A and B are shown apart, each in its own frame.
Chain A
Amino acid sequence: MDAHRQAYKEEAYELLAELETSLLELEEAPDDFDLINRVFRAMHTIKGSGAMFGFDDIAAFTHEVETVFDLVRNGGMAVTTELVNLTLSSRDLIKGLLDASDGGEPVAATDLAEVVARLKRLVPAPKIGSPLPAGPAAEPAAVADAGKVVPVTYRLRFVPVPEVTVNGTNPLLLLGELRELGKCRIVAQMANVLLLDALNPECCYIFWDVILTTDRGIDAIKDVFIFIEDDCELKIDVIDDGGALDTDADYKKLGIILTERGDLSLAEMDEILSRQKRFGELLVENNVVPPEKVESALVEQQHVKEVRKERQAQENASSIRVPADKLDLLVNLVGELVTVQARLSQTAAGKADPVLVTIAEEVERLTNELRDTALNIRMLPIGTTFSKFKRLVRDLSAELGKDIELTTAGAETELDKTVIEKLNDPLVHLIRNSLDHGIEAPEARLAAGKPRQGTVHLAAVHSGDSVLITITDDGAGLDKEAIRAKGIERGIIPANAELSDKEIFGLIFAPGFSTAKTVTSVSGRGVGMDVVKKAIEALRGTIDLASERGKGTVITIKLPLTLAIIESLLVKIGVDSFVIPLSIVEECVELTRDDLKNAHGRNLANVRDQIVPYVPLRERFRIAGETPEIEQIVITRVHDSRIGFVVDHVVGEHQTVIKSLGKMYKDVNGLSGATILGDGSVALILDIPRLVRDVELEQLTN
């Protein structure tokens, strides 16, 4: 903008010089119309551009002088010596204002007012000096839109004059603009289209019926047609004001709509109604109303029905605010109830009392419903977080000198409140990474044949019992070779390692790993992808990364729906119970003493001709006692690798209410929490990803 301001100033000084010469010449030849025009134009440009570049004082003052000269131009007054004198003083004052903006002596407001007053005294009869038009005339609706507005449904009939196109107006673009205002349906009407020999191919004979639901107000609609308001017939009716609904959610009957639109008279309607058959068909059959008009009215009927249905759903979903801790308490209590219910069912099963069994089943059903409802209460749409990221991207791209747009999808996807909260930091980090390392500077993008503006797409979607969150950017993608080199340099992988793309990208999640050549203020804050990964794993989620050089990067985060209760597999080792989250369990297979013998001390099992490594948990947790004749391997899938865990036996599926471990146990590796079983005993929840990582690390170091 400063460069523009500078350009304006230079131009204004030139114009002032020209103004001076013209005025002096004008004094000699007061009737020279060309000279008057030159004076007028010079002031006109000083004023017009002045307002545009922020020189409001100059614009306002010059406007007054220009108004007087406009009168001269139109023959309303003569050029006199006094006028020339005053205009010359005005010119000096404008120069003073220009100088002042560069740090020169400020111009006294009284001097300006004085000249204006004297100019006005020169003007003959009626008043002059209408104030400078306040702001631009275009887009008045945008201002009025503050505050929350209910969407209103309008019916528009837009009939352009056939010659509308000859001025370069494209009615289709205007319809496109309407579409951007809200939920919109457009029906083209051909009734006015002429036969081929009478038709002027340069004209537009079609007109349109539009049903539009928008919260932008009627002025926004009128604005669309602002350039052709004289060249079209535009009828706008409110057909649904977005207010309270009648008990009858049915929208108007077809006949009423057509009569309201003026396409059908009441008498005609009564006539037709007296017969039987579908009303619309009758109208068409009897040539009362052409089919497109009936169709258009039907579209309106359907549109309003839908809008009302949506609104009713929203109204029904009215909400109350509840402090989060009350909800937490509720979920906790439900958790306890689930536990007690499990005990009740277990006891009832043991007692073989039919009455007790019935009661236990009833309680189980209710508890399950209660559990689902209670957990649902804590679910929030992820959209609130999304909007925060818009701001982040906006600020950050400005800071980085990049042009980046954030698009989002699936804002309505619901996630547990705590998950959303804990997800915030990892997402911020990932988006920052995309902006800083992923998306190139505008020049680099243009050079690579991409649009100047980069895009980061943040999407959330439900997938079974999990939520998938993806962050996709169209940036430079990851440099596999650089990552590989860095991995070797840091000793994470051996120099000759042959790695798949996935494994190479996986290196990014290693602690302290960074490929950034320069540390910027945005990245390099000491937080690496390892921290992101840990945070996601703490939510019992997984994170994956895919990238194509030059095309961009996709990061996928998979999260469980809730943290409070999980479906799990209950297993036993000796007298101790453990639970494994069911979502990562693939299958259970037997492990016999013979199998162990054949494996020659290596912890590998052959599962349908596939070798699966396993971890004997009894050994790992140093649980005393004998292993049974036949053990069980619970095979899990973590990060696309299959790994088994050997337990004494598998009890079965179990609803696990997660209790966090006390402070004493928070550093215990391989356990993520505890749960209480039906008989009142405690089972520990295995942190499978952590166990897998520990085992892998041990193998690398051995």
Chain B
Amino acid sequence: MAKTIMTVDDSASVRQMVSFTLKQNGYEVVEANDGKDALAKLAGTKVDMVITDLNMPNLDGIGLIKGVRANPSYRFTPIIMLTTESQESRKQEGKAAGATGWIVKPFKPEQLVAVVKKVLG
């Protein structure tokens, strides 16, 4: 069965691109436009992996990662954060919150797929 990946980003174009790339590679995609939206949608759907932006209104990426890890059913779900600049401190913050890995923006579709394969198999 196809695995489901949630993409969380306040930029519709980034969501569209991530979603398009993943669907092309045979994944199902759930979109959310910020951390709050993502947590609400996670409660209703089974998701195998989360790809999230860091800077978002309402609830940012770090908050989302903490929220996801707090949910027992998503304790071991891979979470990849999209970071724009190589802000070391933010990356560490994300990792401490429970992120599995990161992708530095801008990225090419192949890189996204490579990372997804790396953490999702």
8 Å CB interface, B43-88 against A: 55-57, 75-79, 82, 84-86
Verify B13–A4 contact, CB threshold 8 A.
yes
Verify B13–A7 contact, CB threshold 8 A.
yes
Verify A45–B76 contact, CB threshold 8 A.
no
Verify A11–B12 contact, CB threshold 8 A.
yes
Verify A227–B100 contact, CB threshold 8 A.
yes
Stretch in A164-172, A337-345, A680-688 touching the partner: A164-172
Q: Any chain B CB within 8 A of the CB of A41? A: yes
Verify B11–A166 contact, CB threshold 8 A.
no
Verify B95–A167 contact, CB threshold 8 A.
yes
**A residues within 8 A CB of B84?**
44, 47-48
CA distance A44 to B17 in the complex (A): 17
Encoded as 1 (CB less than 8 Å from any A CB) or 0, chain B from 71 to 115 comes to 000011111001011100000000100111111111110010011
Stretch in A108-116, A132-140, A232-240, A253-261 touching the partner: A132-140
CA distance A165 to B100 in the complex (A): 9
Q: Which residue of A lies closest to B98 (CB)?
A: A167
A-B contact count (CB 8 A): 103
Stretch in A49-57, A303-311, A643-651 touching the partner: A49-57
Q: Which residue of A lies closest to B101 (CB)?
A: A227
CA distance A165 to B98 in the complex (A): 10
**B residues within 8 A CB of A170?**
78, 119, 121
CA distance A412 to B26 in the complex (A): 33
Q: Which residue of A lies closest to B50 (CB)?
A: A168
* Main SS at interface, chain A: helix
Q: Any chain B CB within 8 A of the CB of A226? A: yes
Given A48-B84, A168-B76, A168-B119: A136 touches B104 (CB 8 Å cut-off): yes
Encoded as 1 (CB less than 8 Å from any B CB) or 0, chain A from 152 to 196 comes to 000000000000011111100110110000000000000000000
Given A44-B84, A59-B106, A136-B111: A227 touches B16 (CB 8 Å cut-off): no
Verify B78–A136 contact, CB threshold 8 A.
no
**B residues within 8 A CB of A59?**
106
In this complex, how many residues of chain B approach chain A with their Cβ under 8 Å: the count is: 40
**B residues within 8 A CB of A44?**
55, 84
Q: Any chain B CB within 8 A of the CB of A208? A: no
Q: Which residue of A lies closest to B77 (CB)?
A: A168
**A residues within 8 A CB of B95?**
167, 230
Verify B26–A8 contact, CB threshold 8 A.
no
CA distance A167 to B118 in the complex (A): 14
State how many angstroms separate the Cβ of A172 from the closest Cβ of chain B. 8
Q: Any chain B CB within 8 A of the CB of A452? A: yes
Verify A138–B104 contact, CB threshold 8 A.
yes
State how many angstroms separate the Cβ of A445 from the closest Cβ of chain B. 13
CA distance A527 to B76 in the complex (A): 58
**B residues within 8 A CB of A230?**
95
Verify A49–B11 contact, CB threshold 8 A.
yes
**B residues within 8 A CB of A177?**
118
Encoded as 1 (CB less than 8 Å from any B CB) or 0, chain A from 662 to 674 comes to 0000000000000
Verify A11–B11 contact, CB threshold 8 A.
yes
Verify B26–A52 contact, CB threshold 8 A.
no
CA distance A166 to B79 in the complex (A): 11
CA distance A174 to B82 in the complex (A): 20
> Which of A48, A139, A167 is within 8 Å of B100, CB to CB?
A167
Given A136-B106, A168-B77: A52 touches B121 (CB 8 Å cut-off): no
**B residues within 8 A CB of A226?**
101
CA distance A135 to B100 in the complex (A): 22
**B residues within 8 A CB of A11?**
11-13
State how many angstroms separate the Cβ of A21 from the closest Cβ of chain B. 15
**A residues within 8 A CB of B102?**
227
Q: Any chain A CB within 8 A of the CB of B28? A: no
Verify B16–A52 contact, CB threshold 8 A.
no
Verify A48–B14 contact, CB threshold 8 A.
yes
**A residues within 8 A CB of B77?**
168
**A residues within 8 A CB of B114?**
138-139
CA distance A165 to B119 in the complex (A): 11
Verify B57–A41 contact, CB threshold 8 A.
yes
**B residues within 8 A CB of A51?**
105-106
**B residues within 8 A CB of A49?**
11, 13-14
> Which of A4, A45, A52, A137 is within 8 Å of B10, CB to CB?
A45
Verify B13–A168 contact, CB threshold 8 A.
no
8 Å CB interface, A11-51 against B: 11, 38, 40-41, 44-45, 47-49, 51
> Which of A45, A139, A166, A174 is within 8 Å of B75, CB to CB?
A166
CA distance A258 to B108 in the complex (A): 43
8 Å CB interface, B1-31 against A: 10-14, 16-17, 20, 26
Q: Which residue of B lies closest to A172 (CB)?
A: B121
Which of B17, B55, B84, B98 is the most central at the interface, judged by chain A CB atoms within 10 Å of its CB?
B84
**B residues within 8 A CB of A138?**
103-104, 107, 111, 114-115
Verify A4–B16 contact, CB threshold 8 A.
yes
CA distance A7 to B98 in the complex (A): 32
Q: Which residue of B lies closest to A1 (CB)?
A: B17
**A residues within 8 A CB of B56?**
41
**B residues within 8 A CB of A224?**
118
**B residues within 8 A CB of A174?**
118
Other contacts beyond A52-B17, A173-B119: 10, CB < 8 A: A7-B12, A40-B55, A48-B84, A138-B103, A167-B95, A167-B99, A167-B100, A170-B121, A227-B102, A227-B119
CB pairs A–B below 8 angstroms (22 shown): A4-B17, A8-B13, A40-B55, A41-B55, A41-B57, A45-B10, A45-B14, A48-B14, A49-B11, A51-B105, A53-B13, A137-B104, A138-B115, A165-B76, A166-B98, A167-B100, A168-B79, A168-B119, A173-B119, A177-B118, A202-B76, A227-B101
Ranked nearest first, the 9 interchain pairs of A and B with the lowest CB-CB distance are A227-B101, A51-B106, A168-B78, A8-B13, A52-B106, A168-B100, A48-B84, A7-B13, A45-B11
Could you tell me which A residues sit within 8 Å of B by CB distance?
A: 4, 7-8, 11, 38, 40-41, 44-45, 47-49, 51-53, 59, 133, 136-139, 165-170, 173-174, 176-177, 202, 224, 226-227, 230, 452
